[in-house]
Amino acid sequence: MSFILFDNVIKRYKTGTVTVNAADGVSFVIEKGEFAVVAGPSGAGKTTVLNMLGGMDCCDGGRIVVDSAEISSFNAKQLTEYRRSDIGFVFQFYNLIPNLTALENVELASQICSEPLDAEKTLTEVGLHERMNNFPAGLSGGEQQRVAIARALAKNPKLLLCDEPTGALDYATGKVILSLLQRTCRDRNMTVVVITHNQAIAPMADKVIHIRNGKADRVLQNPSPLSVDEIEW
Amino acid sequence: MSRAFIKDCLRQVKTTIHRFAAILVISALGVAFFAGLRTTGEDMRITANDYFNKYNFMDIQLVSPYGFNDDDLEAVRDAPGVKEATAAYTLDALAKSKDSSLTVRLHSFDENARINLPRLTEGRLPQKSGECLVDPKFIEMRDCVVGDTVSVSSGTDTPIEDSLVTDTYIIVGVADYPLYISHERGANNVGSGRTDAYILVPCDDFKIPVFTSINIIVENSNNTIRFDDGYKNILKPVGDNLRIIGNERSLTEYNKHFSRLQGIIDLSQNEAEKQAALAQQRLLTPAEWHILDINTNFGFVGYRQDTERMDALSLVIPLMFFLIAILVTMTSMTRLVESDRSLIGTLKALGYANRTIAMRYLLYAVAASLIGSIFGLIVGYNLFPRVVYNAYSIMYTLPPIQIIYSNFYSAVSVAAAVLCSALPAYLVCYKSMRASAAELMRPITPKIGKRTLIERITPLWKRFNFSQKVAFRNLFRYKKRLIMTLIGVAGCTALMFTGFALQDSITVIVHKQYSELHLYDMQVYFTNGNGSAESIFTENNLIKNHTLILSDTCDIFNDNQKTSVNIIVPKSADEFDAYINLRNRTSKSSLTLDDNGVIVTEKLALLYDLSVGDEFSVVSSDGAVILLTVSGITENYLVHYIYLTHEVFEEKFGKRFLPNSALISTISDTDKNALAESLLSHPEVNSITMSEYLEENFSKMTDALNYVVLVLIASSATLVCVVLFSLNTINFEERKRELATIKVLGFFDRELAAYMYRENAVLTIIGTVFGLGLGVLLQRYIITTMEVDLVMFSREIFFASYLYSAVLTIAFAVVVNLIMLKFIARIDVVTSMKSVE
């Protein structure tokens, strides 16, 4: 059985009398240790997929299975536990707590899970050992995103979920971040799912899932993913 | 302004209805409390003034030891500034109805007179001799009805028939009389020395050869309020003139009498008659006219002091209340505009003028605060004066209160409320609008995190766990919020505490006075001062013990005040502490009367700045000025007393010590009323004052104040709720994204709540502690300003008051935080994904 399974997943949003099928039967699988890119134009349903996969939202139909656990049947408390111990999040706008230093931001996540990695070591691994006592406001965008990745990794999650991780960054910095994510995936055998509207980064992924009109339009397996340095956009 | 813009403004209200409501309610509270309490004193004064005007209460009363004749009256009527003058009689007497008598004061009622009109509450006015109007208190105390008869006696050796045409009166009506607005009826020359009730009898029934007084209404006196200085200014020249006329008239009368006596001396053949005339001539002096104005009326002075007390109470508290309210409004409005940063950018990008965008927030702020303030004005003006007045109605007889809508306080409070919500809105808006549209649409740079001072104390900092560290840093990071919350919580706690502490100071005094200090049960006045009545007490087995005393009154004064003081001279100083406990208030150590001087009560010492060893002079009841030395200051709460041994009394007052009354302690469970009645049946007993009755009377006053204080507590409690709710909502909204992020990271709701509440808890507790400190100061200030001269409030604050105000504040905080728990549970984790707003 695959590590992640989306089986005909349906999500409807009701606003007044209008019902929008944000996910209209999404199906795909992601294997353990894969670097997967979920790509698609805005409004296609990428974020809906991420929200459901991240345990932030529940589906209205179909099955979602992560590491043999059927999270589509979880209640709110189970979803929180799932987010707490299984998922590492990386946000577009970093979402660091401004009043905590880089190290403390990582500790914030690591202190709530059962088998965390050492916060300081994780920061060193993302190349921020020198700056770990800085507050977010004193860090550049790329550095902030690296803190966010460290925060996600320190939880020792089963799955790293990244929502437009380069969306707020410039080209060069974006590449550094993607490279960090790719390395993490390879070195730790971490399953990484990156949501993006940027089709150009697809070649670096093991698997590319194109979402369009609420469906997984195409799922492409990439037998020889490129290193980040080799791709341009 | 486009229609879409107006629509947007209205929707803004709808979507932020919490905030709109909070600003509205808090403006309403602040304005209501401020305007309402500030005008209460004035409302009370105007109500009384209108009552005096309506019933033509005299401006000036002339009294003279020799009375007045028709020539005097004519001279007064012709005096400049005198609008109207009538002559009147008063006579102190005993009135018997239903087998027991009351000490009364008879006033002449002239149906043609246009001064001092009675306010008939029942029955009709007297039409012929032998009919009378009585005090409602008479009806109440004697349980009689219109139609009953009253028989009056003089209470002295002179029969009443010398002064009145009849001694039997039929009650034809009940009336309030503007001379008596207080339930306290004042002194009396006969009976118990204290007037129980007044009776109005037809003027023609008096057979007294001279008028007791001339009552005057001054021209234009109705143009001012009797409580104002302007009123005094109107009376002053008239009074000065009357004094001159009085001197002339007295001299004329003196000369007339002198020459009449001289005639007798010169012409009489009878040597005895000659000698008598000569003696009379020697005694004869021109009598001075005493010009009494309203400030010599006991009830008026008490009432004026009570209104001033209200002014004192409403000076600081509503101001503080108001400050807290506008502080919260300011915070709330600032936050609203700040959170709309990107929207302001969008509107700017769309091409809206700065003015129009600012208008959006100004309208919001003005609408919320204006609607709130107007609502507050209506409620405040109507509620607070009524509640206070209602409380005072147990002490005063006055018509229903007139509500004054003060333009000044309305304008000031509404302007302040509106300004304090509109100005921050405008300023924040203006600051935002100076930036470019593009800049505004980008997220705001987060505020730089900072290390707090505590972090530098590494050993201490290390002991904190992670969440405690975060809480600490957050506390100091959001300084504005820290200060706002501290001020808000501290202010509200202080207000509540002040309320409770005032109750402590007020409620205990009556009990202390009559259970700890004045231990006797009744004071029995004798008909004459030879002490022959003592056997009555020794025979009565209901009386545990008794002691003979002389009780009298004297006046003490300095440049700006005059105070009436009771003198108590015990026959035996040794056993006196069984009746009146003389002790130091703080150390509780007993004081004993000795020959070194007199013991004065604490408030008197306070008023006249007396300390042990000081000398002061008093004017005795027969007019002599006597110099006394303070040998001790005793705890006392109600009225003023001077205690002295009979040796000191005889030496200083130059009179023989003749006990005129006795203090009595009864055995427990005695029916005191029955005992008093049986004692009164002895001819040696003139009257009885029961401590129980005094206690009840004073309890009424403390009840009134207590009621006012209760309003204060309730209002403060409401304020605490709104303030805490507003501050917490603002806090919550400011940090929604942060909380959402943490929620995504997998924090459970309770962990999330703990993350936020830790700060709230710290702030609430610190605020409460500060508040208690502030409350102690506030209470001390208010106690000293609102204390009546006749009363000393207790300086003691019970632990319960600290507890109640702290617990209430914390309880409100807990409730508000529990409500916030719902908000936390409702946080949509997806919010965290969105861009920074």
pLDDT tens digits, one per residue of B346-397: 888 787 888 888 888 888 999 999 999 999 999 999 988 998 888 888 778 8
| CATH 3.40.50.300 applies to domain A32-59+75-230 | yes
* Angstroms from B818 CA to nearest CA on chain A: 20
Q: In whole numbers, what is the pLDDT of chain B averaged over residues? A: 85
Backbone angles phi, psi at B831, to 5 degrees: -50, -35
For residue A101, the chain B residues in CB contact (below 8 A) are: 449
What is the spatial distance between Cα B789 and Cα B787, in angstroms, rounded to a whole number?
Answer: 6
Between the ranges A142-146, B171-175, B509-513, B787-791, where is the mean pLDDT highest? B171-175
Region A132-155 average pLDDT: 88
Q: Identify the closest residue of chain B to A79 by CA–CA distance.
A: B746
Cβ-defined contact of A80 to B748 (cutoff 8 Å): yes
* Angstroms from B439 CA to nearest CA on chain A: 15
B836 has a pLDDT exceeding 60: no
- Nearest-CA neighbor of B315 among B778, B791, B806, B794? B778
What are B33-67's pLDDT values in tens digits?
889 988 999 999 999 999 999 999 999 999 887 88
- Give the B-side interface with A, CB within 8 Å: 443, 445-450, 466, 469-470, 473-474, 477, 737-738, 741-748, 751, 829-830, 832-833, 835-836
pLDDT band of residue B837 (cuts 50, 70, 90) is very low
* Type of residue at B657: F
Which of B449, B748, B833 lies nearest to residue A99, judging by beta carbons?
A: B449
pLDDT band of residue A22 (cuts 50, 70, 90) is confident
What are the boundaries of each domain within chain B? 58-297, 478-516+692-837, 522-669
What is the spatial distance between Cα B665 and Cα B669, in angstroms, rounded to a whole number?
Answer: 12
The more confidently predicted of residues B44 and B702 is B44
Lowest mean pLDDT among B87-96, B419-428, B703-712: B703-712
Region A6-34 average pLDDT: 87
B718 has a pLDDT exceeding 60: yes
| pLDDT given for residue B773 in this prediction | 94
What are B247-274's pLDDT values in tens digits?
888 888 888 888 888 888 887 777 777 8
Helix and strand counts by DSSP (H, E) for chain A: 6, 10
What is the spatial distance between Cα B265 and Cα B262, in angstroms, rounded to a whole number?
Answer: 5
Cβ-defined contact of A99 to B747 (cutoff 8 Å): no
- Nearest-CA neighbor of B376 among B321, B304, B317, B307? B321
Got the DSSP string for B52-111?
HHHTT--SEEEEEEEEE-HHHHHHHHHSTTEEEEEEE-EEEEEEEETTEEEEEEEEEE-T
| pLDDT given for residue B444 in this prediction | 62
Residues B325/B419, Cβ–Cβ less than 8 Å: no
- Count of CB atoms within 10 A of residue B624's CB? 13
Strand partners, A63: A7
Percent with pLDDT over 90 in chain B: 29
Q: Which two tokens stand for residue B160?
A: 């009443």
- Nearest-CA neighbor of B449 among B728, B736, B738? B738
B709 has a pLDDT exceeding 60: yes
Q: In whole numbers, what is the pLDDT of chain A averaged over residues? A: 87
Percent with pLDDT over 70 in chain B: 96
| pLDDT given for residue B463 in this prediction | 75
| pLDDT given for residue A168 in this prediction | 77
- Nearest-CA neighbor of B180 among B261, B299, B334? B299
**Percent composition of chain B: helix, strand, coil (DSSP 3-state, to 5):** 55, 20, 25
Region B15-39 average pLDDT: 88
User: Which H or E element spans position B693?
Assistant: helix B691-734
- Count of CB atoms within 10 A of residue B363's CB? 18
pLDDT band of residue B192 (cuts 50, 70, 90) is low
Which of A95, A99, A135 lies nearest to residue B741, judging by beta carbons?
A: A95
Backbone angles phi, psi at A35, to 5 degrees: -100, 105
Cβ-defined contact of A137 to B450 (cutoff 8 Å): no
What is the spatial distance between Cα B698 and Cα B508, in angstroms, rounded to a whole number?
Answer: 11
* Angstroms from B815 CA to nearest CA on chain A: 25
Residues A41/A197, Cβ–Cβ less than 8 Å: yes
- Nearest-CA neighbor of B412 among B377, B447, B454? B377
A53 has a pLDDT exceeding 50: yes
**How many interchain CB pairs under 8 A, A with B?**
86
Residues A109/A154, Cβ–Cβ less than 8 Å: yes
Which of B448, B751, B833 lies nearest to residue A92, judging by beta carbons?
A: B833
B314 has a pLDDT exceeding 80: yes
Helices (H), B219-353: 229-267, 271-283, 298-339, 341-349
Q: Identify the closest residue of chain A to B825 by CA–CA distance.
A: A76
| pLDDT given for residue B193 in this prediction | 63
Residue B56 to residues A122, B50, B118, B516, Cα–Cα distance (Å): 93, 9, 9, 45
